[in-house]
């Protein structure tokens, strides 16, 4: 078999056989396929697409490129949630302890930030001592005893995905539904799940910037996952404004803790968390209906059980044993904290969410390149949402920066990213669609 013939076949819009896809993926594993071969293949797939059968084969061989976790020793369903990423999206860190305290085992393998969206791992790494790369035995011990563990991708799970993703990232081939499906599902299948709930973000802060693309992506992931026997559903959620009141690693962790302790729950964020929790509990077979799931999740939150589970997970993975107490004292704070004042009065009618994410990257809170280091303390807090009425001079948000120059740049960028108008626009629901 010749690799260039396989690429040519895809460029001609023909379907690839399982053995051709296997040849390509095994070639990446044994390093006989070069980065330029991968780039040519991904570009061909991006333009010509793949059938469900081809997407299934691609996912299957990517899973087989590494190890698969086995959770047979656990006495309950193993279910995870995956988000396609957004700005201020700290949902995973709230959700894992909620569903774990309701009887789900949630081994959650998450990523670092890249580009304008934040990464769950960066947020957790702002907690002193928290180890996002524990050895296998500590990871398993935490999942078994606490119910959840959020860690980083290990090199043994779907290792070819890392290679392919690296090439896609620099060849503008991320936005391909079959490639996204195989990339996400190969890692989830390798993690040995029984069920999966997808949170597909759409809007000006998501990479699925239109609803059709988000819907097609959700349907493809659901269909392929089901062929592997993984019970899967998806919700499509709005990302036309940051989720919650903070953007930035430490600030988001503090928002998570306040949320779990019932100090403050931003309504849109709360709606997404409860919906995903209910969905996960239904998929796990632990409740009879979504409404029951909703109630069960709410009880876990309001009784403090979820907060306790969160504290246990943090401690097991190397963090402080009392993160819920005197929360601020555990974290470093930024040197300059300033309000970002509205330049006119009116209703917030539009937010350039991507620009908000990029402002935090510019402050040092995100990465421009994979190996950039991060300043966890910087970001935005008290971020106002769409539809809020503000008077001139009132803060749209508060910037946390390391120096005056960075703070002033961020102030200007945020003032430009918020559009104010005299008339209050109709607000978008945060949960747009449910697919299964």
Active-site choice (60, 80, 161, 375): 80
> Nearest approach, Cβ of 380 to ligand URA (angstroms)?
24
Strand segments, DSSP code E, in 223-345 are 231-238, 336-341
Whose Cβ is closer to ligand URA: residue 169's or residue 308's?
169
Query: Is 188 designated active site?
Result: yes
> Nearest approach, Cβ of 62 to ligand URA (angstroms)?
11
Query: Is 187 designated active site?
Result: yes
Tokens of 381: 């807090």
Whose Cβ is closer to ligand URA: residue 206's or residue 247's?
206
Q: What is the distance between the alpha carbons of residues 350 and 355, in angstroms, rounded to a whole number?
A: 12
> Nearest approach, Cβ of 384 to ligand URA (angstroms)?
29
Whose Cβ is closer to ligand URA: residue 132's or residue 250's?
132
CA–CA distances in Å: residue 403 to residues 334, 366, 406, 410: 9, 17, 6, 11
Q: Which residues bind ligand URA (CB under 6 A)?
A: 84, 174, 179-180, 183-184
Active-site choice (82, 90, 201, 275): 82
Active-site choice (10, 64, 81, 201): 81
Whose Cβ is closer to ligand URA: residue 146's or residue 180's?
180
Active-site choice (154, 183, 246, 377): 183
Q: What is the distance between the alpha carbons of residues 382 and 244, in angstroms, rounded to a whole number?
A: 9
Q: Reduced to 3 states, what is the DSSP secondary structure of residue 107?
A: strand
Active-site choice (120, 132, 186, 353): 120
Q: What is the distance between the alpha carbons of residues 251 and 48, in angstroms, rounded to a whole number?
A: 42
Whose Cβ is closer to ligand URA: residue 74's or residue 174's?
174
> Nearest approach, Cβ of 101 to ligand URA (angstroms)?
27
CA–CA distances in Å: residue 66 to residues 4, 61, 187: 25, 9, 10
Q: Specify the DSSP class assigned to residue 362.
A: I
Residues 239, 204: contact at Cβ < 8 Å? yes
Chain residue at closest Cβ approach to ligand URA: 183
Query: Is 113 designated active site?
Result: no
- Give me the long-range contacts of 407-413 (CB less than 8 A, separation at least 24): 407/336, 407/338, 409/362, 410/340, 410/359, 410/362, 410/363, 410/380, 411/338, 411/340, 411/341, 413/355, 413/358, 413/359, 413/362
Q: Reduced to 3 states, what is the DSSP secondary structure of residue 232?
A: strand
- Among all chains, which residue has been given the structure tokens 């084969």? 57
- Among all chains, which residue has been given the structure tokens 């029951």? 292
Query: Is 376 designated active site?
Result: no
β partners of residue 381: 398
> Nearest approach, Cβ of 85 to ligand URA (angstroms)?
7
How many of the other CB atoms lie within 10 Å of CB of 398?
A: 17
Whose Cβ is closer to ligand URA: residue 61's or residue 400's?
61
Active-site choice (57, 65, 83, 417): 83
> Nearest approach, Cβ of 158 to ligand URA (angstroms)?
10
Active-site choice (10, 168, 275, 330): 168
Query: Is 183 designated active site?
Result: yes
Query: Is 81 designated active site?
Result: yes
Query: Is 144 designated active site?
Result: no
Whose Cβ is closer to ligand URA: residue 160's or residue 396's?
160
> Nearest approach, Cβ of 84 to ligand URA (angstroms)?
6
Catalytic residue numbers read 80-83, 120, 168, 183, 187-188
């Amino acid at each position: 078999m010749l690799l260039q013939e396989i690429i040519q076949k895809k460029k001609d819009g023909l379907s690839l056989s399982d053995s051709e896809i296997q040849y390509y993926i095994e070639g990446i594993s044994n390093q006989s396929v070069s980065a330029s071969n991968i780039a040519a293949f991904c570009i061909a797939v991006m333009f010509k697409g793949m059938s469900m059968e081809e997407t299934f084969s691609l996912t299957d061989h990517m899973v087989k490129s590494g190890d698969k976790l086995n959770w047979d020793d656990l006495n309950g369903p193993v279910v995870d949630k995956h988000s396609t990423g957004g700005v201020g999206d700290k949902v995973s860190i709230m959700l894992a302890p909620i569903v774990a305290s309701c009887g789900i085992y949630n081994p959650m393998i998450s990523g670092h930030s890249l580009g304008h969206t934040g990464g769950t791992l960066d947020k957790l790494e702002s907690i002193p001592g928290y180890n996002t790369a524990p050895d296998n035995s500590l990871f398993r011990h935490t999942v078994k005893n606490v119910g959840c563990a959020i860690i980083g991708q290990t090199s043994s799970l779907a290792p070819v995905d890392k290679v392919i993703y690296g090439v896609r990232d620099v060849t503008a081939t991320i936005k391909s539904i079959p490639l996204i499906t195989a990339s996400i599902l190969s890692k989830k299948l390798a993690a040995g799940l029984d069920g999966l709930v997808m949170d597909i973000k759409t809007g000006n802060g998501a990479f699925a910037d239109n609803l059709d693309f988000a819907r097609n992506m959700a349907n493809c992931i659901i269909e392929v996952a089901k062929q592997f026997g993984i019970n899967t559903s998806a919700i499509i959620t709005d990302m036309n404004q940051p989720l919650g009141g903070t953007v930035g690693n430490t600030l988001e962790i503090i928002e998570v803790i306040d949320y779990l302790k019932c100090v403050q729950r931003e309504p849109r964020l709360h709606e997404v968390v409860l919906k995903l929790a209910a969905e996960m509990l239904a998929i796990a077979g632990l409740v009879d209906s979504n409404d029951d799931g909703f109630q069960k999740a709410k009880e876990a939150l309001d009784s403090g059980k979820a907060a306790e589970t969160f504290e246990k997970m943090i401690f097991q993975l190397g963090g402080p044993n009392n993160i819920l107490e005197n929360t601020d004292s555990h974290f470093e704070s930024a040197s300059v904290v300033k309000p970002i004042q509205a330049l006119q009065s009116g209703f917030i009618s539009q937010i350039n969410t991507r620009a908000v994410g990029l402002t935090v990257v510019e402050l040092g809170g995100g990465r421009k390149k994979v190996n950039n280091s991060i300043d966890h303390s910087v970001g935005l807090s008290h971020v106002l949402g769409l539809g809020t009425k503000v008077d001139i001079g009132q803060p749209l948000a508060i910037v946390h920066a390391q120096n005056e120059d960075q703070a002033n740049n961020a102030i200007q960028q945020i003032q430009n990213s918020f559009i104010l108008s005299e008339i209050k626009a109709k607000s978008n629901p945060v949960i747009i669609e449910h697919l299964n």
